[in-house]
Amino acid sequence: MGNSIKRPRVTKNVDFDLESYVNTETGELLTSALSKDKMTVKITEEGSYVVMSTDDYIVLDSATVKFLVTELSRVELASVITMATDLKTPLNLVYNGPQPHSNESLQVLLGYSSRDKFFKLLKKLMELGVLYQIKGRISGEVRVVYMLNPYIARKRRTIDNSVFKVFQPFIK
């Protein structure tokens, strides 16, 4: 056996200047979509591999997404992925900036002008096990918020145990 050299683990933060990235469809700067000036990615070098992590990345379960393609239309699937971009907290809640999305703000985010079509989508997603609705007194008022099934998508490594009591994995 030859001499093996063990490389030290190297961690560094890389800042991306979002002002230099443009959405080719709309011509808008990426900062307008993300509402911040920089995105930081933590890069850890481990031997010949690099581990990248950031709060702005979404983890999708590919087998579940393939299953959802058979159950949802392209527009409905795009709505699920759009919601996944706004996940926060260990409860995998769909957020709108500093607070969870309400029905009204979620309808705007997903681009539904018809309230009936929006509620039809929500009903289908809840029946399929994609979303879970929580209704109660939240932040001093009666509100509705939504959790997204972490077996589909998540933005965190850690999820609250109670979420797994609500959601089941999709049968593959």
**CA-closest candidate to residue 19, choices 6, 32, 3:** 32
State residue 122's pLDDT score.
97
DSSP strands (E only) in the chain: 10-17, 38-46, 49-53, 59-60, 87-88, 93-96, 99-100, 131-138, 141-148, 153-154
Domain boundaries, the chain: 10-53, 59-166
Which structure tokens are listed for 171?
Answer: 């049968």
Fold annotation for 59-166: Arc Repressor Mutant, subunit A (1.10.10)
pLDDT of residue 111: 94
Residue 110 has a pLDDT of 95
Alpha helices, H only, 20-114: 30-34, 62-71, 74-84, 103-110
Can you give the pLDDT of all 172 residues of the chain as single tens digits?
555 565 556 655 555 555 555 556 666 655 555 555 555 667 777 777 777 766 677 888 889 999 999 999 999 999 999 999 989 888 889 998 888 999 999 999 999 999 999 999 999 999 999 999 999 887 788 889 999 999 999 888 788 888 888 888 876 5
**Strand 59-60 relative to strand 49-53, pairing:** unpaired
Any bridge partners for residue 81, and if so which? none
pLDDT at 40: 65
DSSP element (H, E) containing 147: strand 141-148
Q: Is this model's pTM higher than 0.75 or not? A: no
pLDDT, residue 70, reads: 94
| pLDDT at position 139 | 72
Continuous segment of H or E residues that includes residue 163:
helix 161-166
SS3 content of the chain, % helix, strand, coil (to 5): 35, 30, 35
